[in-house]
Each structure stands twice: as C-alpha cells, then as structure tokens.
Structure 1
Amino acid sequence: MYLIGNIALILGIVISLYALIANIIGLKRKDERWLESARGGVLSLAFVASISAFLLFYILGTSQFQFQYVASYTNNELPIIYKLAAFWAGNAGSLLLWTFLLSIYTAIIVLNKKKQNKMIPYVSSILLTNILFFYIVMVLNANPFEMTDTIPLDGKGLNPMLQNPGMVLHPVTLYMGYVGLAVPFAYAIAALIMKRMDAEWIKLTRRWTLTAWLFLTLGNMIGGWWAYLELGWGGYWAWDPVENASFLPWLTVSAFLHSMMIQERKNMLKTWNLSLIILSYILTLFGTFLVRSGILTSVHSFGDSNLGSYFLIFMAFMMLFAIYVVATRYQLIKSDSKPIESYFSKESSFLLNNFILITATFAVFFGTMYPLISETITGTKVNVGAPYFNKVMAPIMLVLLLLMAICPLISWQKAVFDRFIRNTLIPLFAAIVFAIILVLMGIKGIYAIIGLTVTVFMFNVHLAEIWRGTRARQKATKEGFIKALFRLTRKNQRRYGGYIVHIGIAIIAVGVISSNAYSEEVMKTVGQGESFQVGHYELTFKELTEIEKNGNGIVTANMDVNYKGKRNGTIHPEKIFYGTWPEPSSEVAIKTNLTEDLYVVLSSWESKEKATFVIKINPFVSWIWAGGILMVIGTAIALIGGKTSAAFRIGSRQRGVRA
C-alpha cells in the first residue's frame, strides 16, 4: 500500500508536468498531436488521482495504523462513516481531496470538446498548474501515505467535534466550491491570452460558476447547522477566520453572477467581470492559506500545519500571473467596452449590487486580517470579534436586502418610473402594515423591526413578481394557476430560479435577525425533580444517567418539557467523555417548532441529584435552514435553465415587465 500510494503521488507530478509541457509545445507549434497527448495525460492524471483517493479511503476504513495519517485521525472504536470522513480531517487528506476533485474537473473539460476545443489547451494548462502545485506540496510536506516509526495498537481518534454528520458533508461541499472556481478563472485567463474579448468564456462557465456558488452556499449552511448542533454555544456563525475565508469568495461570486448577466446581454463590464472571477479564485487560495498557515486562531484550522508559506507563494504567483495577463490585454478590453446608458436601469442596480457585495467582502477581509496587521505594526495582537462584524455588516446587508427588493421591478436599459412605482406600492404597503403590527404587538428593537420590514418588503416583491407572471400566462393560455406557474418557471428558469434563491435569502434573514435580536439565555442549577420556567417552557429535571458506549462514557440528563402548559415530551442533553480525547463533548438537546428552538446544554453537575443547565430560546432559527434549502432548490432550477425563450419575452413585454 505504501509503495502504491507513493508511486501514485510521484506519477501525479510526472503526468501533470508532462501534460502541461505537451500543451505548451502543442500551442506553440500548433501541433494537434502534442495537444492530443496532453489530453491523454489529463485523463491519465484523473485515473491516478482516483487510485490515490480510493487507496486512502481503503487504509482509513480498514484501520491500517502503520500509516501516520490513519493513526492520527482514526481509532478502532470510530464508526466506519467517520473513519472514511477522516479523509479530509487533516492536511494531507484534504490536499489529496482537492487534487482529486480538480483532476476530475479537468478531465471533464478535456472530454467536452464541442465549441470550446480551441480554449481547452489553455484552460487545462492553468488547471494543470494548480494540480502540479498540490502534488508537489503533498510529496514534499504532506504525504497522506507516510508511515509511522512504530505501529500503534490503536489510533488517536477523531476530534469529538468532528464526529457529526456535518463532517461528512461540510468540508466536501466547500472544497467542491473552492475547486470549482478554478474553472471559470482558467477560462477567463484563457480568453485573455487568446484575445477573445466577447462573453463566450462566461457562457461556457456559467454552469461551472453557479455550481461552485451552490456548493459554497451548501458548505456555509451545513457548517452553520453543524456548529449549532455540536459546539453547544447556541449559535450558528461566530465570524471565525476560517468561516470568513469561505464567506469571502461566496460574496464575490454572488457579485459576479449578477454582473455576468450584464456582459451576456449588453456586452458591458468586461474588465469588472474578469477582476471579480480572478479575485474569487485568489480568495479560495487565501482561504486555504488561512486554514493551513496557523497565523490566525481558529477552531477550524489545522493547528500543526506548516504549509502556509507554500500557499502564500503560489497565491502570489497566480495573482501576479493574472495581473500580468490582464495588464497586457487591458487596451483591448477597454476598447471593446460599452457604457451603461441609464442610471435607472437593471444594469445600474446590478452594478450597485456589486459595489455593496464588494464592500461587504472588504469589511469581512479587514476584520479577519486586522489582528495580524495590528500585531505586525504595533506588536500587539488585537482580537476582532462578532461585535465588529455585526455592527459593520448589519447596515451593509440591510442595504443589500433593500436593493434586492427594488431590482426585480426595474427594467433593462431604461426603466419606466411610473411602472416602477405601480409595481412597488402593494409590496411596500404590506411591509409597512407588517411593521405597524410588530409595534402594536409590543415588539422591541427599532433596528430589528427595520430589518424585518425591509426583508418582508423584499419577500413581497418577489412573490408579487411571480404572481404577476403567472396571472399573465393564465390569461394568455387559459391554464390553471399551478400549471401556469410550473410552465412559466420552466420557460425562464434562470430568472425564476433566481427569485426562489432571493426568497430563500429573505427567509434566512428573518431567522438571523430574530435569533440575534430576540434570543433568551438562562443558566440554572436545579435539583432532581425540580422544575423551572424559561419563556413559554417549563422544564423538570428528572435524573442523570451514566452509560458506556463504544468505549466512551456518556452522562445524560433526562428532562420533561411542558410548552404553554401542555406536555411536550422529553429532552436528553448529554456530555460524552472520549477515551482518546481530554475534553468532553456536549450533545445539545433541541426542540424545534415553527417560531423558535428550545436549546438545552448540560453544563456541569455536582452529583446525580444536582446539575447545571444552559437554556436558550432561539426564535426562528429553523427558518435559516429552510431558507438554505430554498436557495439550493432555486439554484438547481437556474442551473437547468438556459436562455429565455422568445415566447416568454413577448409575454413579459405584454404585461409590462421586461424579461
């Protein structure tokens, strides 16, 4: 196994270097034989990477502790699903996962030769450069097939916080998002090298970009859900440096997905779009650098890593390379650009959307890096916590939500103000009524009320747009409402998929604003049989039980729950003591309904008859997960959709809304 694994890594370097050189020679000589050989090299590389990945899965699943990586992240008692998930628990495995995914992506590109065969050698060369870097790092510094000096009887095991279903999904989805952004970056650079200044590279990579954004969204949502269940502090986002590292490219790609539509439709913003996709790609490398450098404290980072310098050098190299290519083609890009015709148009609103998202990116980046900047300049490390991010990001996101409400009501090229006002009145009136109702109900917090009102306005606008489109189709076709809605969405999947994504964001915003502004927290020490009240809940501590399972000691508190005077079942918060880990892990007990979560943590105990609990009432947290599901559904619909049909564009103009 050791020999096969290391041969596969060495072959990875040799094949990726050969394919890269073959591409360069083939392009320089315009020799199809070399280009075809490079294509074969890419396919061979995907095969070799697959062998390495399968081999690592195998040695993890069969507990072969003679391998350092297996001994470091698994043990005999670990369930098989977490033994396999240990693939990406450490540096060496996560780098192999990255390499494997990128090799598969590159193979998919070279296999699809239609319409883009002239760009493929350039694109695959850029991706091969990335693959070659990762193979070199693995061989020199993070070999997943490194052997131990002596074979231990058992391994160290997986960090208890990682023994959660989130471990199976969260890292993989984030990596698929990170790796996926290398593809549009490669196409953008290839288009510049070939001096193709049209929107062809955007059309070829639209689905790649949207898929990468989808996986980044999934990764961030699953990460929040995982933190909420596992960490025991009652939250889902702590503005941790590594959390921010995955959020930064999500923001920039969100901006790109909007501005790319302007280039597709109007042939504008070419330099801006190139800059955005380059920045998004660089931010994925920056995020990887943060995780592996150890320069910032994070619960997510690989604390024993010394790979930061490798990623810093590679990030600088790729950034300088991209800047050089853009600079040498800048006059060509500039001469082929067009100005925006009207400030009151969808183009302008998308550009403003981009400005807000980039402002948010800078705010998060600055807050993340400020401790390092402060330490470098003054010698004193100043921690930047959640209060800074909440204070800075809240108004930025509020403006973004307001813009998301207005943008669907504005037409391309030049909007008609009277039509805009007509379409705004009903959603705005409904939002104002909602705000008045909140005040009359005695809801406090002016900023939270403003945020919720803007969110409801945005939600109403999108529902109204879907309603108007469906009613217009009903009148034209005499179809039933559900059938008309389905066919309307199918006719313009990109547009209505986007609307569903925006509705999902509105639902998430309700959860985030409510849970931050209106949560309650209580710490109670109670005796056996004693009851206490938190919000609408009455909790009764029945008993503590101790059991041993899979070599771990588990202490469970059994509690009865009444909600608004009615029996609501039982909850069982736990502490798990792992034989291979010094600190116990909290298993939170959560009861969820439509409007709030009861969140209970067993904090400590003096005896079986007396225990201390932390109880939180978190309003509308479940809406965050529901909104995330809607975002995924909307993105999937937009991924399937293509160009707007001529029939739909005619129908849209007939009802006074431009497609």
Structure 2
Amino acid sequence: MYLLGNAAIYLGLAMAVYSLVILMAGIKTKQQRLVNSGKGGVLAVFICTAVAAAVLLYLLGTSQFVYEYVNNYTSSELPMGYKLAALWAGNSGSLLLWTFFLTMYTAMIAYSRKMKGNPMVPYISAILLVNTIFFYIVLGFVAQPFTMLDYVPAEGRGLNPMLQNPGMIVHPVTLYLGYVGLAVPFAFAMAALILKNMDDFWIKMTRRWTIIAWLFLTLGNILGGQWAYVELGWGGYWAWDPVENASFMPWLTATAFLHSVMIQERKNMLKVWNISLIILSYALTLFGTFLVRSGVLTSVHAFADSNLGMYFLIFMGIAVVGALYVLMSRYHLLKRSAGEFTSFVSKESSFLINNLLLVGSAFAVFWGTIFPLVSEAVRGTKVTVGIPFFNTVQAPILLGMMFVMAVCPLLAWQRSSAKNLKKNFLLPSILSLAGMTLMVTLGIQKAWAVIGYGVIIFLFITHYFEFYRGVKARRKMTKERIPTALYKLMTKNRRRYGGYIVHIGIAFIAMGIIGSQNYDVETMKTLKPGESVDIEDYRITYERLDQRSEGINDIVYADLTVFKNGERLGVFQPEKIFYGNWDQPSSEVALQTSIAEDLYMVLSTWEENGTATFIIKINPMISWLWIGSVMVVIGSLFAIWNGRYQNITPKYTGVMKEVA
C-alpha cells in the first residue's frame, strides 16, 4: 500500500505536468490530436488521485497505525464512519481530498458534452492543471500522506473529540467542494480573457458551476455553525473565528458575483467588476487555505502543526498577480464594449449597491481577521479583534443588504418612474410599518430588532407580490388553477424564482440572528440534587449526577427535569465526555427546541458531593436560522435543476485542426 499510494501521487504529478505541456503545445499549434492527448492526461490524473485517496481510506479503515497519518488521527475504538472521516482531519489527508475534487472538476469539464468542441476547454484545463500541479507538489514533497513510522504503535492517538460529530463528517467536504468549485469560473474567466472574448458567453457557461460552488460553501458554513452550536457548549453558532471568516469571505464575494453577472448578461455592464470579483473569490479561497494551514492565527479549526502557510502564500501571490496581469492586458477591450447606467433608481443600481455591501462586508471581515497580524507587525503586540467588533460592523451591513433585497423586485430595469414607485412601494411600506408598530406593542422594543424585523416583513411582502403578480398574469392568459399556474410559473423561470426562495431563506436566517443576538438570556447556577433554577418561563430541577462508560470513554451526566409554565417537558441529560485517548473532555449539550426558542443546557463542573454547576441559556428564534438554511439550499437546487444552456454555441476563432 505504501508503494501504491506514493506511486499514485508521483504518477499523478507526472501526468499533470505532461497534460499541461501537451495542452499548451496543442493550443500553440492548433492540433486537436495534442489537445485530445492532454484531455486523456487529465483523466489519468483524476484516476491517480482517486487511487491515492482510496488507498488512504483503506489504511484508515483498517487501522494501519504504522502509517504516521493513520496513527495521528484514528484509533481502533473509533466507529468506521469517523475512521474514514479522518481523511480530512489532518493536513496531508485534507490536501489529498482537495486535489481529488480539483481533478474531478477538471475531468468533468474536459469531458463535458456541453463543452465538446469548445476552444475554451484546453485553456480551462491548463489553468486548473496549474492548480493541480501545485497541490501534487505539496503532497509529494511537503505533506506526504503515506509516511511510515519506524515502529508499529499498538494503538493510534485517536480523532479529536470535537470532530466526532456527524456534522463534521459533512462540513469539511462541502466546504472543499465550494472552495475548489470557485476555481472553475475563475478558469473560465481567465480563458475568456486570454481568447479576447468580451461577451457574456463564459458567464452563461459557468452559471451552474458558480451556483453549485456557492451552494456547497453555503452548506459548509451552515453545517459549521450547527456543529459549533451543539458541540462547543458556548451557546452560539458563529464566533467570527479566523477559519470561519476564511470560508465566509469567498461566500460573500461569490454572492456578489452571482448577482452582478445578471447585469452583464442583461445590460452588458460591470464586465471588469465581474472579472475582478471572480479573481477575488478565487484568491480568498487560497487565502482561507493559507490561514488554516499557516498557524499564524489561533483557531479551533486550524491545523496547529502545519508548516504549509508559506507555500500557499507564494502560490496565492503568483496566481493573483498572473490573473491581474491578464485582466489589465484586456482592460481596454472590456471597457470598450461595456454599457452604462442610465438611472440610480433602477434594478441595475440595486444590484450594484448590493454588490458594494457584500464586498464591503467581506473587506470588514478580512480586516478584522488580519488585524492581529498587522498590529503585531507594527506595534509588536498582537491585538485580538473580538465578536463585538464584527457584530457592530456587520449588523448595519446585513440590514442594508436585506433592504436592497426587499426593494429590488419593485424596481424596473433602466429607470423606475415615480408612478411605478408609488404603486409598488405604498402597500408594502404601510404593512411593514404596521408590523413594526405591532412588534413594539408586543414588547419588542430594541431599535435594531424592530428595524430589522420591519425590513424582513417588507422583504416577505415584496416577494409575496412577485409570486402573486406572476400567478395572476399567467392565470389571465391560461385560465389555469392557482397551484398549476404557480408550478408552471416557477419551473419556467427557475433562476428567478429559485433566487426568490433563497432570499426568503436568508430572511429567515436573519430572523434567527436578530432574535438570538438581541433577546438571548443566560444564567450560571450551582445546584444541589433536588434544587431548581428559574429562567424566563422555565423551571429546571436538578435530579442527580451519574456516570457511565462507553468503550474507553467515561461519561458524566446530569438528569434535569424541565418545566415550562408549569407543564413538564421531560428529562434532559447534558453530558461531559472523557476520552480514553484524549486529554481534554468535551461537552454534549441538552437541547429543548421549539419554533420560538431553544433551551440550551450545559454541564459545566461538579463536586464529589453531587453539587453541579450548569450553564443555562435561552436562544430565541434559533430554529428559524436552520429553517432558513434549508430554504436557501432548496432555492439553490431549484435554480439549477434542469437548467438549459439556451442554445449556446462556441463563439471563438482558432478552432483546432485534426492532424493525422
């Protein structure tokens, strides 16, 4: 297995170099024979990566502790699912997974029927192969996954307990699919610039790729937040940790890109901006990888033993400088063919404002993330930027984005007349103000909460009217029943109405954020068995403290009987788990979840006489955060399902020629 695994990596590197060289030769000589050989090499590279990944999975699953990676991240006591998930628990394994996805994407593009005969394919493949070669060099010479120990350990060190959660089986995979997926539109954009194609063909070809990458990034962030909520025991879901920020920044810029490309497609505007956004998104994925693997910033998610930061920093610099050089060399062509804005009060302007807010949010996160490094370099002292800074900066930006999302459907393309503005805005504004007034009378009186929920109400109303007017217009023409008209309206306009579903999902997420950030209640109490603590409408009675064993792990747990308004909800058991092969214990929280709020209970400490200290927290509206997340996923899938390329055909010169 040692020979097979290493042979797959070194052969993959050799084939990647061969494919890149032969593709470049085919591009230069316009010989299809060479291009086809390069495409065959791309497939061979993917097969090599798949073999290497399969070998490492086999070693992990069979507990081959003589291999350093297997010894460091697994143990014989681990369930099989977590043994295999250890593939992405460490540096070399996670980089192998990254390379697998990258070569998979490259092979899918090279052999896509939609792209058959398209002269962009060799350029795109070559750009992605440059990325592949870098990762193969790292795997082959720096972070080698098949390094063997000079002895055979009796037992492995085991997997970090914080990673032994179902969410962490899926979370890294979805993030990597999103990270790597953003390299695809980047490669398309660079290929289009190299070929001096200034239209929106490359955007149409990459729309689905971009949405898929964005969807996986979304899932990665959501699952990471859910993992933090149930596993870390602090009662929150987002701590603005550097590695969390690293995955959030490209999500923001990719979101901006997805919106602004619609302006280019419809109005031939923002060409330079769109290219810049996709370069920025791609660069931020590399920057995030640098943060995770450099060790320059402390994070619960980072690889603390990593020495790879400098390699990624150099590669990121080369990639960004190269991309900007290509962009600037074609800048005059992009500007020459660009359209212009005709009115500030238009749908185009709302998209641009939304873009500026998203990029501004990304910059704020970026600055807060790197500020400790800047302060240490300038003053010699590392100043930590905490949660209050990010919340203070991001709250008004989120509010602004929600408002633009709410207003956008009401605006016309090019220019909105005063008559149309009055007609479209009057009723939603009145209903939103009425809703805000009702909230104040019900006791929601914090300014940010009232304004935020008012904007969300406005968004719901405007999006409802979009569905209502569409169904009404369709029924007027077809006389269909309402469910039929709604179904056909949405399926014939998947991109538009899928986007609206995503907007509604984000509004639900915002509801959860506003509620949990403004109205959470927390207490810490030390109780003896039989004593109770009251918090809001709940009474929690501490019944007993006990212990049990599961394999090599010892679990201390408490029985808590929960009542709400006098009604018994049941017995809940917060736990503290002590792992036989890990020094630090982990907390398993007890949750009572409803649509309105979560009751969050953590066993903190205890004494020999049974006295125990509990952290008890009420998190309002948390369920809406997860509901909204599901809606975002549904909307994204709806937008890309059964999409069409709409008779797109290659528009480029320099078609390859067959050579016998």
1:42–1:106 CA contact under 8 A, matched in 2: yes
Partner of 1:511: 512
1:492–1:641 CA contact under 8 A, matched in 2: no
Partner of 2:271: 270
What are the residue-to-residue correspondences of 1:216-231 with 2, within 5 Å? 216-231=217-232
2:68–2:146 CA contact under 8 A, matched in 1: yes
TM-score (norm 2): 0.96
Post-superposition Cα deviations, 1:213-247, rounded to whole Å, max 9, x if no partner, equal 00000000010001000000000000000000000
Partner of 2:444: 443
Partner of 2:39: 39
Q: Distance in 1 between matches of 2:439 and 2:112?
A: 55
What are the residue-to-residue correspondences of 1:572-587 with 2, within 5 Å? 572-587=573-588
What are the residue-to-residue correspondences of 1:43-442 with 2, within 5 Å? 43-115=43-115, 117-442=118-443
- Greater relative CO, 1 or 2 (CA 8 Å, sep 6+): 2
Code of the residue aligned with 2:550 in structure 1: it is: K
1:109–1:120 CA contact under 8 A, matched in 2: yes
More off after superposition, 443-452 vs 572-581: 443-452
Q: Distance in 1 between matches of 2:636 and 2:35?
A: 35
Which consecutive residues of structure 2, in runs of 5 or more, have no partner in the other structure? 647-660
SS at match of 1:607: coil
Post-superposition Cα deviations, 1:94-134, rounded to whole Å, max 9, x if no partner, equal 10001000111100101015456200000000000000000
Partner of 2:653: none
TM-score (norm 1): 0.96
Report the RMSD for the aligned CA atoms in angstroms: 1.2
SS at match of 2:260: helix
Q: Distance in 1 between matches of 2:518 and 2:608?
A: 36
Post-superposition Cα deviations, 1:189-225, rounded to whole Å, max 9, x if no partner, equal 0000011111011011000000000000000001000
Partner of 1:476: 477
Q: Distance in 1 between matches of 2:473 and 2:139?
A: 58
Whether 1:556 aligns to 2:557 is: yes
Q: Distance in 1 between matches of 2:561 and 2:539?
A: 8
SS at match of 1:586: strand
More off after superposition, 406-415 vs 219-228: 406-415
What are the residue-to-residue correspondences of 1:642-653 with 2, within 5 Å? 642=643
Code of the residue aligned with 2:24 in structure 1: it is: I
SS at match of 2:541: strand
The offset of 1:560, in angstroms, is 0.9
What are the residue-to-residue correspondences of 1:577-616 with 2, within 5 Å? 577-607=578-608, 609-616=610-617
The offset of 1:420, in angstroms, is 2.5
Code of the residue aligned with 1:24 in structure 2: it is: M
Post-superposition Cα deviations, 1:124-153, rounded to whole Å, max 9, x if no partner, equal 000000000000001111111111121111
The offset of 1:607, in angstroms, is 2.7
SS at match of 1:76: coil
The offset of 1:264, in angstroms, is 1.1
2:369–2:385 CA contact under 8 A, matched in 1: yes
SS at match of 2:569: strand
Partner of 2:18: 18
1:553–1:577 CA contact under 8 A, matched in 2: yes
1:180–1:212 CA contact under 8 A, matched in 2: yes
More off after superposition, 257-266 vs 123-132: 257-266
Aligned-pair identity (%): 57
1:405–1:462 CA contact under 8 A, matched in 2: yes
Code of the residue aligned with 2:350 in structure 1: it is: S
Q: Distance in 2 between matches of 1:642 and 1:80?
A: 38
The offset of 1:263, in angstroms, is 1.0
Q: Distance in 2 between matches of 1:516 and 1:314?
A: 39
2:204–2:645 CA contact under 8 A, matched in 1: no
Q: Distance in 1 between matches of 2:466 and 2:168?
A: 39
2:526–2:612 CA contact under 8 A, matched in 1: yes
SS at match of 2:544: strand
Partner of 1:634: 635
2:508–2:625 CA contact under 8 A, matched in 1: yes
The offset of 1:592, in angstroms, is 0.3
Q: Distance in 2 between matches of 1:237 and 1:517?
A: 15
1:491–1:644 CA contact under 8 A, matched in 2: no
SS at match of 1:317: helix
Q: Distance in 1 between matches of 2:325 and 2:113?
A: 28
Q: Distance in 2 between matches of 1:321 and 1:378?
A: 33
Q: Distance in 1 between matches of 2:543 and 2:473?
A: 60
